[in-house]
Amino acid sequence: MSDDRRPEVLRYVLVASLARLRVALGFVVGVLVLVIAQPTGRSLLVGMSIAAFGEAIRIWAAGHLRKSREVTVSGPYRWCPHPLYVGSSVMGVGLAIASASVLVAVLIAIYLVATLTAAIKSEEAFLRRTFGDSYDLYRQGVAAQRRERSDASRRGFSVEQAMANREYRAVAGLGIAMLLLLWKATYNGLFWRAAGT
C-alpha cells in the first residue's frame, strides 16, 4: 500500500469500526449518562416528551424501510434520506434535557456526531454499491417527480415492517432509559430530603 492511500484506509477502518460498534458504545455512554445525570421532574417531563417524539420518528421510518431490498422512498424517506438517524438525534436531545446536565449533553453530542456520521457514511457507501444510480438519483432529488407518482412512494406504514426492522429494541431501550432516569431523580430527591437540604 502506498503512503498516499494510508490516511484513506485508516479513515475507512475508523468509520467502519464506529458504525459497527455504535450500539455497544451506546451502552457505555448510557452508563456514563446515568452516573452523571441530575434529572428533575421538570427535566424528565420535557426531555422524555422530546425523546418519545424522536422514537415516533424512528417507528415511522422503520415501518417504511425495506433494508437492503430497495431505495426506500415512502413515509419520511420522501423528505429525508436518514430519518432513523434524525429520530435518534431527537432522542439524544431529549435524553440530554432529561438528564439536566451540560456534561451529559456534551457526551451525547460527541457520541451522536461520531457514530451517526460513521453510520451514514458506511450506509451510503453500501447503498451506492448495491443500488448505484438509483440511490444517487434519490439523494440528488432528480427523480422526485417520478417517486411522487410511483407505488413505492405511496406505500403505507407497516407495523410488521417496523417489527421486522427490530424497532421494538429502540422502544425498549428508551423505556429503560426513562425508568432509570426517573429512578435516579427519585433517589436524588429522597437522598437530599433525608440530608435535610
Position 82 pLDDT exceeds 80: yes
**pLDDT value at position 2?**
58
Q: Tell me the one-letter amino acid at 146.
A: R
pLDDT band, residue 141 (cuts 50/70/90): confident
189 pLDDT more than 70: no
Q: Dump the DSSP string for 85-117.
A: HHHHHHHHHHHHHHHT-HHHHHHHHHHHHHHHH
With 90 as the cut, is the pLDDT of residue 160 above it?
A: yes
Average of pLDDT values for 71-84?
90
Q: CA–CA separation, 90 vs 52, rounded Å?
A: 9
Alpha carbon distance 107, 33 (integer Å): 8
Mean pLDDT of 58-69: 94
Q: What is the mean pLDDT of residues 28-57?
A: 95
pLDDT at 140: 80
To the nearest whole percent, how much of the chain has pLDDT over 90?
55
Look at residue 3 in the predicted model and tell me its pLDDT. Answer: 64
Average pLDDT over residues 29-36: 93
Q: Judge whether residue 196 has pLDDT over 90.
A: no
* Distance between CA atoms of residues 179 and 197, nearest Å: 25
State mean pLDDT over 20-27.
85
